[in-house]
Chain A
Amino acid sequence: MTPDQIDQFPAGPDLDTLIAEKVMDWRGIERSNNVGWELQGYPPNPQKLHIGGAHRVPDYSTEIAAAWLVVERFESLGKRLILSNGKVSTAEIGWAAGFYYVSKLPIEHLKPIADGFTGASETAPLAICRAALKAVIGDKE
């Protein structure tokens, strides 16, 4: 998947499943009723919503509380979030997000801060998800 394709990825179950697999390290996800489920859900993981023997993929791309799990995942890997609203390009107004290693991008030097952004969207959860996918792709290159 290219960065341009990520920029066009809409919010919804497809993106949520992709985030679960590529970012959150979920395994064996299958789709049922348009929702992703990690079927090997035993033992129940308190970090995951557990329903009937399976874990439901959170609504990462639409719910800020779920998107924050992605932020916390990157935090555990040493990457920090930058998130801004307002003008994210000359044409749009929305949200922009990026993940960065603090050692590589000192906060006091973020001016203009737009340099740190990699994901943009109308909503903060979607911007976080797009930035997360790009960060994962970038780390694997």
Chain B
Amino acid sequence: MKLEEIDQLPAGPELDALIAEKVMGFKVTNLNGVPYTEWDGPDPKELPEYSAEIAAAWIVVDKLHLFKGRRSGDTEWGLCLQQNDRDEWVIKHRYGMDIVRAETAPLAICRAALKTVMVNQS
């Protein structure tokens, strides 16, 4: 997936599954077209709605802390989330570079997380 394609990903189960796999490190299984993460007892666990719910998206933000920021010598990294005058949610690098824009904050967080993971892997 190219970085530009991430900007077009809509919120929903497909993006949630991508986040679960690529960012959170879960194994995702499709059952009847519905993605689940690992089994929790006899039942599969439904994916959190990372791209739609702010509480779920914040789990992704916390995960990003694990591989960026708060390490010695890496304190300048910072996510900046803000709404602009077109009611888009924008995530910027702390010093101004746009990373993503989206119609909701959870979607912006998910797109930024995917981009962060891809950049780290390349």
Q: What is the minimal beta-carbon distance from B81 to any residue of chain A, in angstroms?
A: 5
A63, B78: Cβ atoms closer than 8 Å? no
Residues in chain A within 8 A of chain B (CB atoms): 63-65, 68, 75, 80-87, 93, 102-103, 106-107, 110-113, 124
* Bound Cα distance A85, B93 (Å): 10
Q: Tell me, yes or no, whether B23 is within 8 Å of chain A by CB.
A: no
Q: Tell me, yes or no, whether B46 is within 8 Å of chain A by CB.
A: no
Of the candidates B54, B65, B84, the one whose C-beta lies within 8 Å of that of A102 is B84
* Bound Cα distance A132, B80 (Å): 17
- Per-residue contact bits, chain B 60-85, to A (CB 8 Å; 1 contact, 0 not): 01000100011000011111111111
Of the candidates B54, B61, B83, the one whose C-beta lies within 8 Å of that of A65 is B54
Count residues of chain B with CB under 8 A from any CB of chain A: 25
Closest A-B pairs by Cβ, 6 of them: A86-B78, A80-B83, A102-B85, A84-B80, A65-B55, A82-B82
Question: 28 A-B residue contacts at CB 8 Å?
Answer: A63-B55, A64-B55, A65-B53, A65-B55, A68-B54, A80-B83, A81-B81, A82-B80, A82-B82, A83-B81, A83-B82, A84-B78, A84-B79, A84-B81, A84-B94, A85-B65, A85-B78, A86-B79, A86-B94, A87-B75, A102-B84, A102-B85, A107-B82, A107-B85, A113-B80, A113-B92, A113-B96, A124-B58
